[in-house]
Copies of this chain bind each other. A is one copy, B any other.
Amino acid sequence: MKRTFEVSPWHVKTTKWAPEDKLLQESITALANENLGMRGFFEEGYSDTTLQGVYLGGVWFPDKTRVGWWKNGYPKYFGKMINAVNFMKLTIAVNGEQVDFAKQTPTDFNLDLDMRRGTLTRTVTATVGGAPVTLKFERFVSAVQKELVGQRLTMQSPAEIDLAISAQIDADVYNQDANYDEQFWQVLDRKASGKGALLVSQTKANDFGTPQFTVAMQTSVKTDLPHVGDAVEAKQVANHFAGHVAAGQSVTLEKRTIVTTSRDYADQAELVAAAQDLVAQVDQVSYDDLVAAHVSQWAQRWAKSDVVIEGDDEAQQGIRFNLFQLFSTYYGNDSRLNISPKGFTGEKYGGATYWDTEAYCLPVYLGVADPQVAKNLLYYRYHQLPGAYVNAKEQGLKGALFPMVTFNGIECHNEWEITFEELHRNGDIAYAIYNYTRYTGDTSYVLHEGAKVLVETARFWADRVHYSQRKNKYLLHGVTGPNEYDNNVNNDWYTNLLCQWSLQYTLEILDQVDEDVLKDLAVTEDERRLFKAIADNMYLPEDADKGIFPENDAFLDKDLVPVAQIPSDQLPLNQHWSWDKILRSPYVKQGDVIQGIWDFIDDFTPEQKRKNFDFYEQFTVHESSLSPSVYSIVAADLGDEDKAVELYQRSARLDLDNYNNDTDDGLHITSMTGAWLDIVQGFAGMRIRDGRLHYAPFLPKNWTAYQFNQVFRGRTIQVRVDADGTHLQLLSGEPLKVELGDQLTELK
């Protein structure tokens, strides 16, 4: 655990110059707008450890893999979000010495991420070229215009100085995690005029038939420094400004960058034209007005979704930070985009889509944003069905297998025990359709595109199970559950449950769709019979003595020693134990049976929930950041308030406190949903039952009150829980009946 920023309700800020925490600070001060984003790196450059990361949503490269190729069905590449051309670059020289705070130690430093406004401001004072200078860097990634990034530099010195600033676009960029240390970009075109510059780059050709992306970056630069020339080099383009600055005189430079990509425009000419048009437009608007529009969009987001925690500023800051970064990563404006585990804040996980989206993110977006936001996450998978057919075919199976890791629907994860075997993702995607429909009441998706997704995944399940003569049941052999500390198991309870449920739900939906949809789905009677036979005879064992669901066939044969008995110096296991030892152990990386109980929390008896929770909790090491929040919700459901709060705290400030000591790599974006889920589903006991909102709140001991706004079927509802009890208020929308505990009340 390491806390580098001050605790403050709406700000993540520090005045501490801490080069040893540079990477951590860059991750935490990342900005994004779903379409593009960047780490909080220094635009003026930094000659010591830094990850200068700028990323564009949906712009990726299929990096040829080194593993697994020798067996049939292995993915050929690992898709990676490209570390984009650096259009933020500003090279600043004072009296001929380049500004580089790795060399000129700041005497005064102020870094401030304003979560309410969505802006990052950095003020630094240091001596450069013999003169004391103060530089104020401001930036925002527009929440209203997806192509726009704004930067403003204001600087001055009590001394007279010679100042030179180059506003650049630099395409000489590598991905930190490239398999072959090659550059993914090639430059197609570049131009510079006194007022700005253009660079057009394209991803390299590849052997895998995935699209090449073309990107145009057009900057506009406004400054009171005289323009002294431009430079157009092979991989870089620059506008040079320089002049003599009087003592105390303030100099300002504004840089507006518009980024257009071939994702939105047909050809190079079009996207260049678009970039130039858009720059011309934003040039007409003052920097402050551009910021104001951006801030007002954030204000609307907060109005829908703010969570207030009284009596615990750390928790308050934590939940707002989580929502801020989550909304920055995805706000549902583009159904071709998704939420990668590290968003735009780092390169780990390749910036690709995982099942985290359906399992952890969608339930949050349902509660904090308009239904279209969540719906676009569903469309994302629907659009990728062609890729899912390919994945199933690669394994010699029917229907659709959605990928573990992807940009385009094609699997690009390389470990067979995950790629081929972590099948529950197919069920999580089906469950998300159910979850969306249950929450919104909107059946338009499930009865059309959703039905297609359900049927194709059902076809996969029906082909992937096998019938066992001996057990007289349908089994799923060779799978890996959400608990990745056990691989290639037989009859993972969670996977079998989702398989069974998916087939049942598919059959239900088939009875509701229109004739024409049914015709298009072309489900034969034999298929229906098979779906039903499997659903009716799926193997789902329960251990009578222990009253639990065994995680898999072998789990209860393991050496069942509770985590509590492992010497603490051997934890976390993944840093101290061999993979072999971990795999054979009973230790649970993240909930498997408990994940299933969360998904269907109203379908199990209190005794079943209690026995399974108590049994699995003693073996769970929570070495996935996605783990504790789910346990917290189940604990709350069981009335274990202290346990629920304790588990909540493990994820509430995961990155702000660098809890897992890996935030340098980037933020745990998809885990940031955990705190919200714990507060809303856990502490407040929010459930949807028969289309009706239900709450059963409790107040954590160390809080005086908490309050959240929740979007539900056209309303915004405010839920406040304090010492006096629970206060429900309808902020907008039609009157609504809500259950509070066992009381039905109408909100007006």
Identify the A interface with B (CB < 8 A). 66-67, 71-74, 394-397, 416-417, 420-421, 466-471, 475, 477-478, 487-488, 490, 553-554, 556-560, 574-581, 583-584
Contact = CB atoms under 8 A, between A and B. Distances in A.
A579 B73 contact: yes
23 contacts: A72-B575, A72-B576, A72-B577, A72-B579, A73-B581, A394-B578, A395-B580, A396-B578, A396-B580, A416-B580, A420-B579, A420-B580, A420-B583, A466-B584, A468-B557, A469-B560, A470-B556, A471-B557, A477-B554, A478-B580, A478-B583, A487-B488, A490-B554
A465 to B, nearest CB: 10
B579 A416 contact: yes
Nearest to A573: B72
A470 B554 CA distance: 11
Contacts of A74: 579
B470 A583 contact: no
Contact of A66 (B66, B396, B488, B554): B66
B578 A468 contact: no
B579 A396 contact: no
Copies in the complex: 2
Nearest to A539: B557
Closest 8 CB pairs of A and B: A73-B578, A420-B580, A66-B66, A71-B579, A466-B559, A488-B488, A395-B578, A478-B584
Contacts of A576: 72
Contacts of A396: 577-578, 580-581
A122 to B, nearest CB: 34
A557 B394 contact: no
A408 to B, nearest CB: 20
Contacts of A580: 73, 395-396, 416, 420-421, 478
Given A73-B579, A478-B580, A478-B584, 7 more contacts: A72-B578, A420-B580, A467-B559, A477-B557, A477-B558, A487-B488, A490-B557
A559 B465 CA distance: 10
A176 to B, nearest CB: 15
A417 B421 CA distance: 14
Contacts of A490: 554, 557
A110 to B, nearest CB: 38
Given A553-B554, A583-B488, A578 B471 contact: no
Nearest to A578: B73
A10 B466 CA distance: 53
Nearest to A421: B580
A77 to B, nearest CB: 14
Nearest to A67: B67
A466 B580 CA distance: 13
Residue of A470, A574, A576 with most partner-chain B CB within 10 A:
A470
B584 A470 contact: no
Contacts of A67: 66-67
Residue of A468, A477, A584 with most partner-chain B CB within 10 A:
A584
Contacts of A468: 557-559
A298 B590 CA distance: 64
B420 A578 contact: yes
B72 A557 contact: no
Residue of A72, A395, A421 with most partner-chain B CB within 10 A:
A72
A73 B584 CA distance: 14
A574 to B, nearest CB: 8
A471 B557 CA distance: 7
A479 to B, nearest CB: 9
A72 B572 CA distance: 12
Nearest to A576: B72
B488 A581 contact: no
Contacts of A560: 469
A80 to B, nearest CB: 16
A470 B557 contact: yes
A360 B67 CA distance: 30
Contacts of A467: 559
A189 to B, nearest CB: 34
Contacts of A584: 466, 477-478
A416 B475 CA distance: 25
A632 to B, nearest CB: 29
A557 B579 CA distance: 27
Contacts of A72: 574-579
Contacts of A559: 466-468
A601 to B, nearest CB: 29
Contacts of A578: 71-73, 394-396, 420
Nearest to A488: B488
Residue of A71, A469, A557 with most partner-chain B CB within 10 A:
A557
Contacts of A553: 553-554
